[in-house]
Amino acid sequence: MLTTGLLGFAIGVTMALTGAGGGILGVPALVFGLRLTVAQAGPVALFAVSLAAALGATLGLRAGVVRYRAAGFIALVGMIASPVGLWAASRVPNGPLAGIFGLVLGWVALQMLRRGAAPSEGGDPQPVPGRKSPPCVRSPRTGRFVWTRPCTLALAACGLLAGLLSGLLGVGGGFVIVPMLTRISDLPMRSIVATSLAVIMLVSASGVVYATLGGSMQWNIALPFAGGAVAGMLGGRVVANRITGHHLQQVFACVAAFVALAMLYKSATVLFGAQ
């Protein structure tokens, strides 16, 4: 029980600091810490991530930094795609699934290392000479997105990918949403993180419902893990503004790279050990 709660606490802190990483590190934490399979760990991680993200999104709404219309649209697409990922996860053996997880996590680490000069938590993104304007830009008059066709398609693609990965790997999708919103919008990083948490809350909650109805949720593990994640989210927000976004990304990328290698090693052990 204590170990489960501490693992959840670490995931909540990660989400508070980065707006991502809860599920992408929560699943490996459960796999290595509690000896669950990837398919078993996924629903548990989703439940914890959904609660922690709900807390972060609520605080972001109170601060007025959540783009709730965009979050709702991305989440709607993600909810439609999530059952497809859950269906696939139930049919893929644990070895290959761990390998897929490791590859995805390695890609995340590489992308975060490349974005070492990303904007800080509260600052506006700086224009890059020669780069076109992103498809989703805010109206100078209202501060809300101008919903053009390219913007709608870009947000839909974000939701589709986040939903598929949420169901398949038991991740909230923040590691996809944050970099995609950074690329396709002109939002400041603080708003991107808060909007990402709102999407994670909705998509993860739908995944929890699907998993519960399918009988794959282990509540004896999910409840203490989620309690720790919520506590970690509260604690992480206390120090979030004292650490620069650059340093957060570098630390997270190094941790993610290490965990990715561990997941790939586990996958290879299962695959070749079975032969």
What is the spatial distance between Cα 63 and Cα 147, in angstroms, rounded to a whole number? Answer: 23
Residue whose pair of structure tokens reads 């590859």 in the numeric block = 103
Pick 244 or 145 by higher pLDDT.
Answer: 145
Q: Where are the domains of the chain?
A: 2-124+133-273
Pick 99 or 123 by higher pLDDT.
Answer: 99
What is the spatial distance between Cα 265 and Cα 98, in angstroms, rounded to a whole number? Answer: 9
Query: What 3-state class would DSSP assign to 204?
Result: helix
Confidence of residue 183 (pLDDT cuts 50, 70, 90): confident
pLDDT value for 207: 80
- pLDDT single digits (tens) 194-203: 898 899 888 8
Percent of the chain at pLDDT above 70? 85
- 47, 99, 133, 179, 219 from 9: Cα distances, Å: 14, 26, 39, 24, 17
Pick 218 or 240 by higher pLDDT.
Answer: 218
Q: Who contacts 248 (Cβ-Cβ below 8 Å, separation ≥6)?
A: 17, 18
Instruction: Taking the CA atoms of 99, 101, 106 and 111 in sequence, report the sign of the dihedral they define.
Output: positive
* Residues 125, 184 contacting (CB under 8 angstroms): no
What is the spatial distance between Cα 51 and Cα 27, in angstroms, rounded to a whole number? Answer: 16
Q: Is the pLDDT of residue 27 over 90?
A: no
- 54, 85, 253 from 98: Cα distances, Å: 27, 15, 19
Q: Is the pLDDT of residue 52 over 80?
A: no
Tokens of 157: 């693609």
